[in-house]
Amino acid sequence: MAWRYECGPCAVTTRWLPKDQAAAKRDEHRTTVHAGLIPKVEVFESNARPIAKDPAALRMWAVIAAVCLLAWLIQAMR
């Protein structure tokens, strides 16, 4: 998973970076360009797909839940 920072007023965008590096770039930009203030419009986003929009991930969690439920039912019957 990667993150990027975009400053609205300046139209500055970082490339996709690890979260800590993107946050460091954001802090550096705020310090040097905006005198440490937070711009009114900025985006700090991830390229990860939300689980609700990933059918494969939803199926995986459904299978895990079903296996756990089955194990719980078997344990309860003993």
Averaged pLDDT, groups of 10, the chain, 78 residues long: 92 93 94 88 86 81 96 93
pLDDT at 67: 97
pLDDT at 57: 82
pLDDT at 64: 97
Phi, psi of 39 (to 5 degrees): -60, 155
| Statement: the pTM of the whole predicted model exceeds 0.75 | no
Name the amino acid, one letter, at 35. Answer: A
Beta bridge partners of 13: 6
Cβ density class 41-73: b for 16+ within 10 Å, e for less: ebeeeeeeeeeeeeeeeeeeeeeeeeeeeeeee
pLDDT at 54: 77
CB 22 within 8 A of CB 4: yes
